[in-house]
Chain A
Amino acid sequence: MSTLAPAARRRSRFGWNLLGLLVFVTAGFPVYWMLNTAFKPAKDAIDPDPSLLPTGLTLSNFRRALDIADFWGPVGRSLVVSLSVVVIGIVVGMLAALAISRFAFRGRKIVIVGILAVQMVPLVAMIIPVFLLLNDLHQYDKLTGLIITYLTFILPFTVWTLRGFIVNIPRELEEAAMVDGCSRTGAFVRVVFPLLAPGMVATSVYAFIQAWNEYLYALMLLSQEHQTATVWLGNFTTKHGTEYAPMMAGATMMAVPIVVLFLLVQRKMAAGLTAGAVKG
């Protein structure tokens, strides 16, 4: 490239930019169309020749979405489930992450490989035995049952991610505190914990998103009247068939908070995910 004349380079940069804009439009279009449909008057949504630009701004689709079926019940249940899963996942996961990152003990590698492998089992494959298990424990259609089951995928995730954050805190800091008279627990609470806090927040938010987005277990393990937010959206039909404009309003209400949360932590998580992977 360095041998190209500046004009030619500018021209090729222009071509790349054009291509980049094409990627931007293609990748962003579904999101745009969701928002566009959610805010446009319902009669414009069923125009066989839809205008690609916004045709007006109305909140009536949102009102309709809230009317069709109970919205806040499912959202409340999703919140209860996701928050409980995050709290348990972070506390239990933190203890385990400490064990595998700060202690050398026999069987450590097996535990690590086991936790990684567990993460790889597709959830769908587990639904039948999990359903039967909860049925036996009389936890079918109970939020506690769903919370316990969500730990199958949240726990390996929190353990593994927190471990990544702990490993990046130099052990010398802890050792220095211990030389200065801190106990092991004291060194952790006073030195490691403050450094770990941002990583913990990011992990919690990401775990929350995963629990919030889960669909299959929520569908199978709770009855219709106790459905969560994802199932609410998945079932979004009315007597008149599918009303797309209110459905997109519902989709927007589900997506916007999650995407915002995701934007907040994405950079930190991506860094954590690749931290170890790019070593030469």
Chain B
Amino acid sequence: MSAADTTTPAKVPPPRQAPPPDVPQRPRGKRTSSGAATPWLLLAPCLLVLALVMGYPLVRLVTLSFQEFGQSQLWGFKPAESVGFANFSKVLGDDEFWQVVLRTVIFAVGSVVLTMVLGMLIALLLQRVSGWVKTLVNIALVASWGMPVIVATTVFKWLFDADYGVLNAVLSKLPGVELIGHNWFASGPEGLAVIMLLVVWGAVPFVVITLSAGLTQVPAELEEAARLDGAGSWGVFRYVTLPILKPIIVMLTTLSVIWDMGVFPQVFVMRGGHPEAEFQLLTTYSYDRAFVVNDYAQGSAIALITVVLLLGVVAVYMRQMLKIGEVE
């Protein structure tokens, strides 16, 4: 598409930008030879910081998960000893762990699907409403997007409060519904559904706004042509809009998976800092093993397994970024 060329300047100097003939060749040559070190000098501070705060902990995460590391190692009473795969076999042999994995996957998949579907529907809806409705919806979306996660979590805690929560009061007004005093967090699945709602509420605005931007790029002539060829609304969406938006959708979906697998504060704060067994996701479970049970090695092993589980998704994301030419 020619329009794209104006939005992303070529990284290669354009051919017509040839050096003026009167400039001698020597300074140019000098610039490129000194230029070999310059980018690395510019990168050095960034790479150093990342190596310290990211590289080292990542390595430590791996080594930790192959060691025995508890309270006594933390205080330095005992040196950390390598135990091979013992942590992993302990974790993988634990039924509770597999329940947590299953719960996490269901939670993440549910959140992502809900986020993407709702986001897409709202983005399409925004194309059809009057200007003032669009403005109103956008205000609500940006306000909820901008809410700090902790604030949103405390607000949801209040909305779903058993005795004074507004949700129970409003739902009880419906005929045949009696929810006053109903505790949404008495059972794991129900409580996690509420937390999922919180996650989705926070995630939808980003998806809607990104997809809306994408939708404006769908050429109207293409939709018109499809309609003339007899496609209904669904046909136009399925065969015109969706293929054009596919790069954005892949990017948003992978990002959502990564974010929703990493949900932590929502569960943690919602359950007052002590999520019950029924509420444990991989993230809180790893935290629990490390900082509550004080088995840092097992916690690391669980965190490492989480990262490995996510690698596939990250790979898809990176491929997409490479494909759309963001990374060049």
Contacts and interface: CB of A to CB of B under 8 A. Distances in A.
Interface of A: 12-13, 16-17, 19-21, 23-24, 27-28, 30-31, 33-34, 37, 45-50, 52, 88, 92-93, 95-96, 98-101, 103-105, 108-109, 111-113, 115-118, 120-130, 132-133, 135, 148-149, 151-152, 155-156, 159, 167-172, 175, 179, 184, 209, 212-213, 215-216, 220, 230, 233-234, 236-237, 242, 244, 247-248, 251, 254-255, 258-259, 261-263, 266, 270-271, 273-280
Contacts, number: 326
Given A52-B166, A93-B46, A133 B57 contact: yes
B231 to A, nearest CB: 13
Interface of B: 1, 3-4, 7-9, 11, 13-14, 17, 20, 23, 31, 35-36, 38-40, 42-43, 45-47, 49-50, 52-54, 56-58, 60-61, 64, 74, 122, 125-126, 128-130, 133-134, 136-137, 139-159, 161, 163-164, 166, 169-170, 180, 201, 204-205, 209-210, 213-214, 217, 244, 247-248, 251, 258, 261-262, 264-265, 268-269, 272-273, 283, 286-287, 290-291, 296, 299-300, 303-304, 306-307, 310, 314, 317-318, 321, 324-328
26 contacts: A13-B130, A23-B137, A24-B137, A31-B143, A33-B158, A33-B166, A37-B158, A48-B169, A95-B42, A99-B42, A100-B43, A103-B35, A112-B327, A117-B314, A124-B306, A126-B303, A128-B64, A129-B64, A156-B50, A213-B148, A216-B268, A234-B269, A258-B146, A262-B145, A274-B213, A278-B247
A208 B23 CA distance: 45
Contacts of B286: 124-125, 128
A122 B130 contact: no
B164 A48 contact: yes
A121 B293 CA distance: 24
A29 B34 CA distance: 59
Given A126-B58, A258-B148, A168 B7 contact: yes
B208 to A, nearest CB: 9
Contact of B155 (A33, A129, A168): A33
B246 to A, nearest CB: 11
A140 B327 CA distance: 37
A27 B49 contact: no
Contact of B50 (A128, A152, A266, A271): A152
Contacts of A263: 142-143, 146
Determine the main DSSP class of A at the interface with B: helix
Contacts of B23: 179
Nearest to B62: A129
Q: Which of A13, A31, A159 has the most CB of B within 10 A?
A: A31
Contacts of A105: 35-36, 39-40
A122 B1 contact: no
B39 A122 contact: no
B233 to A, nearest CB: 9
A255 B146 CA distance: 8
B210 A103 contact: no
Nearest to A231: B150
B158 A248 contact: yes
Contacts of A236: 154
A212 B146 CA distance: 12
B146 A259 contact: yes
A277 B216 CA distance: 13
A22 to B, nearest CB: 10
A20 B314 contact: no
Given A27-B140, A254-B148, A116 B327 contact: yes
